[in-house]
Amino acid sequence: MSTTATAVGVSSKRGIWGGGNEPLKASYGKLMMWFFLLSDIFTFAAFLTAYAAIRVSYPGYAGPEDVFVGSNEYWPVPEMVFDAIPFFHGAHIPLAFVGLMTFILIMSSVTMVLAVEAGHRNDRPDVVKWLLWTLLGGITFLSCQAWEWSHFIHGTDGGSMITYVNKLGQVVSETVYGANLAVNEYGPAAFAQLFFFITGFHGFHVTIGVFLLFLAFYQAAVGVYERRGHYEMVEKIGLYWHFVDLVWVFVFTFFYLI
Amino acid sequence: MAAEENKSTLEVIPRNEEKIKKIWKTAGILLVLTSIEFVFAFTLPRGLLLYAIFIGLTIWKAKYIMMEFMHLGEEAKPLFYSIIVPLIFLVWLVIALMREGSDIFMIRW
């Protein structure tokens, strides 16, 4: 499964210095996908570490959680910010929706690995079936994230009293609803900025993943991979999709738990 | 004609139930670890201990995703290490930026 191409005309007698060796025993495409993912790990790690650095530069909310009010003086408690789910307006159900999103993404990762496994067996109906499930999971996750963003931007019914410097440079105290890049009702401006920046960048990755999954689903269904003789494309897209899940595991911990 | 074209030319290998079972087992482990994080988020007091548990569980989950789902463990050793070893630099990044952040905190508050 790892070796699909060997150098043509290389005699095994040429030895280790004769060229044509494959020390990594992986095809070009898979190797490049791994190194791209390594660079992407660094990008996301830089974002999340920046989040942690900015997070510790603010005091955390120290009071009891049931009387929490948003303020830009301290970093908010995630349970009190992310507590909404669709169709239950105003209800306080902490972390349930983001838990559902995590579940959806992990399950789509599982169906992806099943598609890759089916690809190793050249089992086209199975590949198509599992890729379709993965695609559905990806689209569902993106829809959930769209709702989450929409709710975050529009805010709660009550809003919060925030004192901040407005665009004209004046210090104002007013009730703020929802969030934008300048001010938000949950915490310091950096809180919403980082939320938009990091979950947005992850969502962008998921979007690209959904396009790639659709491509793989379509090509597998019409038999492109069968004619090609292998399902390596499913494997490469699978690596990318698992990476997206991997990043979400970290985003979940840093944004919604800590 | 179309049916002829779509006919399978590759040899289909039957399902290896053991392998598939292992995938679902890994999925179960990931879901259990996430549930544990959930329970801890509501039961344990916020603090360094809780954060350490969260980060530990997260890295544990990351290990499962990389080794079982991405099959990194089955790759050749040089490839495995060329992916894992560069991550050491992240240790430096985290230490440096956390220090920076707490220094800003000291100056500001």
Cα within 13 Å of Cα(A50), Cβ side: 13
Q: Quote the pLDDT of residue B2.
A: 47
Confidence of residue A2 (pLDDT cuts 50, 70, 90): very low
How do the domains of chain A map onto residue ranges? 26-59+68-79+90-257
Span B46-72, pLDDT tens digits = 888 999 999 999 999 999 999 999 999
More confident residue, A31 or A13: A31
**Cβ–Cβ of B10/A122 closer than 8 Å?**
yes
Place of tokens 């979950």: A199
Residue A19 has pLDDT above 60, yes or no: yes
Instruction: Report the distance separating Cα B50 and Cα B42, nearest Å.
Output: 11
Write down the ipTM of this complex. 0.88
Q: What's the number of CA atoms in the CB half-sphere (13 Å) around residue A71? A: 11
The pLDDT of residue A10 is above 80 = no
Architecture of the CATH domain A26-59+68-79+90-257 = Up-down Bundle (1.20)
Cα→Cα distances A182→A20, A69, A185, Å: 57, 19, 11
- Encode pLDDT of A127-169 as tens digits: 999 999 999 999 999 999 999 999 999 988 888 888 888 888 8
pLDDT-based confidence at residue B103 (cuts at 50, 70, 90): very high
Taking contacts as CB-CB distances below 8 angstroms, the residues of chain A near B62 are 246, 249-250
Say which of A2, A53, A253 has its CB closest to residue B98. Answer: A53
Tell me the mean pLDDT in the region A63-91. Answer: 84
Burial class of B3 by CB neighbour count within 10 A (0 to 12, 13 to 18, 19+): exposed
A43 touches chain B (CB under 8 A): no
pLDDT > 70 in chain A, percent: 95
pLDDT at A72 exceeding the cut of 50: yes
